[in-house]
């Protein structure tokens, strides 16, 4: 089929779904379907794609199995690939139209009930967040310095999720934040066993425990005692001679691990310190309070924004047609230009579909670094992909971070309105899209935030009070592992909301864990919306700083705040 005929067919099919064909167009479509086998085949592919959308409306529009130059249907249109049986002879196009109209009606209802919007409270300028608790994982390695683990093949790095088990640190510092809230700073050489998200056992070495009143009770075990607190800070040391505890703030209750002897619990207050009288003995005696003997805080990460940056796109182009024409080669970390893989006709008849605003970028108020160039800006349906120079691998140990600025224009109430960044592996040209191989991170419908792999890992999506015409920062974390589950975290930051030098303790969205060995070679932008959706400043990296440092406000004393 020549490109001109293919384009004509796609526009006719799009108009059919939208109920906008006039009598002449109906006749033309009927003629094409009767006389051209390729047209009939493309019609069936088109119907099949929208049937998938009807069954899985969370996608709100998926790229069809067409060439990069082909056009697909308009975003809100879902039709069935099966023609109904007709008891009497009527023009075929009326049957097509009937199927399309019924499908569209069912689609709207299905999408409405799928999204199930609900209100979420806000607190000042911050958007609501949820704690990252998930079965299997109980803690996060939030910061490291000069770490050497006992197993040389151990690739634990900052941001790694931790499961129950024993961890042996030969040297260095490792800060662990439990999903229940408390933090533990481990100083090597040390051996620590993670028991649950509310308990751990220090078998050997030094550790500083820190919590606040917002966290629940936590039990830190030693060979002879259990230390229980609520909202305090203390240090504990275990060696072959015995144990000691130094309390910096609050009060700690020390209970015997063994019931033999029925020892009374000890209460150690701030400014007090105690040590064992004998090895493996619960009894202690007072000792000098020496807080300087312990590392209580790790310095803020000194990473530069470029450290760990894998890919960056600021949409700094002069030609509004650069994305569609395959000439968008800006940024760093890419192995080729942006490629248009699917699109619907422009919302305004007669106007060319353009996805770039070359005059204005999205900015984050108060950021130390301002955005450059233009922005991705589109109302309608389009999917653009770009090959990564370094792929995202779920088949090996790793942590990846993604960030981008976004803005939604107009009311979000139409259920299929969606914008997301999509990661996918290589696929054969013209092959049917494999939905289960796509990792999608974005915002859709009634301002629901989501991050999910394919169709089998759908999750609850919080509905946020995002304002129209306001720029927000989305930061996502992707945990990968060859032996443990993968997981996705998403955090939305409001205008001027502070971004810390470490990843947050709570996230707007946390996915269920899932197992996958996919390798994502392509990063895509997918927009399917009746309103304008804007994306800018896409960053992909292996460190928190590589995707968030530019958005920290400047340090009043000069320089970027770390």
Spell out the domains of the chain, with CATH numbers in brackets: 3-115 (no CATH), 130-293 (2.60.120.1440), 309-551 (2.60.120)
Contact 209, 182 (CB under 8 A): yes
Q: In terms of pLDDT, which residue wins out, 496 or 300? A: 496
Other beta carbons within 10 Å of 278: 11
Residue 208, pLDDT score: 96
For residues 246 and 236, give the distance between their C-alpha atoms in angstroms, rounded to a whole number.
6
The size of the chain, in residues, is 562
What whole-number distance in Å separates Cα of residue 167 and Cα of residue 158? 15
Mean pLDDT value across residues 117-133: 39
> Among 60-64, 190-194, 351-355, which stretch is predicted with the lowest mean pLDDT?
60-64
- Cβ(255)–Cβ(225) below 8 Å: yes
298-331 residue pLDDT tens: 876 655 666 889 999 999 999 999 998 999 999 9
283-320 burial: b if 16+ Cβ within 10 Å, else e: ebeeeeeeeeebbeeeeebebebeebbbbbbbbebeeb
**pLDDT greater than 60 at residue 68:** no
Q: Rounded CA gap, 537 and 519, in Å?
A: 23
Q: Answer yes or no: are the C-beta atoms of 147 and 171 closer than 8 Å.
A: yes
- pLDDT per residue over 254-289, tens digit each? 999 876 556 788 899 999 999 988 877 888 899 999
Q: 3-state secondary structure string, 416-436?
A: CCEEEEEEECCCCCCCCCCHH
pLDDT for the residue numbered 551: 85
């Amino acid at each position: 089929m020549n490109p001109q005929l293919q384009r004509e067919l796609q526009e006719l099919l799009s108009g059919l779904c939208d109920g906008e064909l006039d009598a002449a167009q109906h006749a033309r479509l009927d003629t094409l379907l009767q006389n051209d086998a390729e047209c009939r085949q493309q019609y069936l592919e088109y119907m099949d794609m929208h049937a998938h959308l009807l069954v899985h409306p969370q996608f709100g529009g998926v790229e069809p199995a067409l060439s990069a130059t082909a056009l697909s249907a308009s975003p809100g249109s879902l039709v069935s690939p099966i023609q109904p049986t007709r008891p009497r002879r009527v023009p075929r196009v009326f049957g097509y139209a009937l199927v399309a109209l019924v499908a569209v009606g069912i689609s709207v209802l299905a999408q409405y009930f799928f999204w199930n919007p609900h209100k979420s409270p806000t607190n000042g300028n911050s958007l609501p967040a949820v704690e990252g608790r998930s079965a299997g994982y109980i803690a996060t390695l939030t910061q490291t310095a000069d770490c050497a683990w006992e197993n040389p093949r151990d690739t634990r790095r900052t941001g790694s999720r931790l499961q129950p088990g024993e961890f042996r640190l030969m040297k260095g510092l490792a800060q662990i934040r439990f999903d229940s809230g408390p933090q533990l700073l481990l100083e090597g050489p040390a051996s620590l066993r993670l028991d649950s998200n509310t308990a751990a056992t220090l078998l050997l070495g030094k550790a500083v425990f820190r919590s606040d009143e917002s966290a629940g009770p936590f039990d830190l075990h030693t060979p002879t005692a259990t230390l229980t607190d609520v909202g305090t800070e203390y240090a504990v040391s275990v060696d072959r001679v015995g144990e000691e505890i130094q309390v910096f703030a609050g009060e700690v209750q020390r209970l015997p691990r063994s019931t033999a002897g029925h020892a009374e619990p000890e209460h150690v207050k701030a400014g007090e310190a105690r040590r064992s009288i004998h090895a493996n003995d619960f009894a202690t005696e007072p000792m000098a309070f020496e807080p300087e003997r312990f590392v209580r805080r790790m310095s803020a990460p000194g990473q530069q924004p470029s450290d760990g940056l894998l890919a960056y796109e600021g949409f700094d182009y002069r030609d509004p047609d650069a994305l569609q024409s395959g000439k968008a080669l800006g940024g760093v970390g890419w192995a080729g230009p942006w490629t248009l893989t699917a699109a619907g006709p422009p919302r305004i008849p007669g106007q060319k579909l353009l996805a770039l605003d070359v005059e204005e970028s999205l900015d984050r108020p108060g950021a130390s670094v301002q955005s450059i160039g233009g922005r991705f800006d589109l109302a309608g349906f389009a999917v653009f992909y770009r090959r990564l120079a370094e792929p995202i691998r779920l088949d090996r140990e790793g942590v990846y971070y993604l960030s981008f600025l976004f803005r939604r224009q107009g009311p979000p109430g139409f259920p299929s309105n969606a914008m997301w960044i999509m990661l996918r592996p290589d696929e054969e040209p013209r092959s049917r899209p494999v939905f289960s191989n796509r990792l999608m991170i974005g915002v859709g419908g009634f301002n629901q935030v989501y991050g999910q792999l394919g169709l089998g890992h759908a999750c609850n999506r919080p509905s946020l009070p995002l304002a129209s015409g306001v720029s927000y920062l989305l930061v996502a974390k992707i945990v990968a592992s060859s032996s443990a589950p993968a997981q996705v975290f998403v955090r939305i930051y409001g205008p001027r909301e502070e971004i810390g030098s470490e990843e947050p303790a709570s996230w707007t969205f946390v996915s269920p864990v899932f197992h996958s060995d996919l390798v994502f070679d392509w990063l895509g932008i997918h927009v399917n919306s009746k309103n304008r959706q804007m994306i800018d400043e896409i960053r992909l990296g292996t460190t928190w700083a590589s995707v968030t440092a530019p958005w920290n406000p400047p340090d009043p004393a000069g320089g970027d705040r770390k």
